[in-house]
Amino acid sequence: MDWTPGGRSSDLEDRRGGGGFGIGGGGLGIGGFVIVLLLSLVFHRNFFSLLGVGGGEQAQTANSRPVNDPAEEPEVQFVSFVLDDAQKNWTEILAQRNIRYPHAKLVLFRDRIASGCGMAQSATGPFYCPEDQKVYIDLGFYDELKKRFGAPGDFAQAYVLAHEIGHHVQNVLGIEEQMQQAVDRGANRNDMSVRLELQADCFAGIWAHTTDQRQMLDAGDAKEAINAAAAVGDDRLQRMSGRGVSPEKFTHGSSEQRMHWFEQGFSSGNIASCNTFAQ
Residues 39 and 164 in one domain: no
Q: Tell me which residue of 29, 72, 78 sits closest to 51, measured CA to CA.
A: 29
Query: Over the chain, what is the mean pLDDT?
Result: 86
What pLDDT digit, counting tens, does each position of 72-91 carry? 999 999 999 999 999 999 99
Residues 22 and 147 in one domain: no
Q: Tell me which residue of 224, 225, 221 sits closest to 205, measured CA to CA.
A: 225
* 7 is a domain residue: no
Q: How many CB atoms lie within 10 A of CB 260?
A: 18
Residues 125 and 145 in one domain: yes
pLDDT confidence band for 279 (50 / 70 / 90): low
Residues 153 and 274 in one domain: yes
What is the span of the domain harbouring residue 43? Answer: 17-64
Residues 30 and 104 in one domain: no
What pLDDT digit, counting tens, does each position of 199-231 carry? 999 999 999 999 999 999 999 999 999 999 999
Q: How many CB atoms lie within 10 A of CB 17?
A: 23
* 9 is a domain residue: no
pLDDT confidence band for 55 (50 / 70 / 90): very low
* 50 is a domain residue: yes
Residues 208 and 232 in one domain: yes
pTM: 0.82
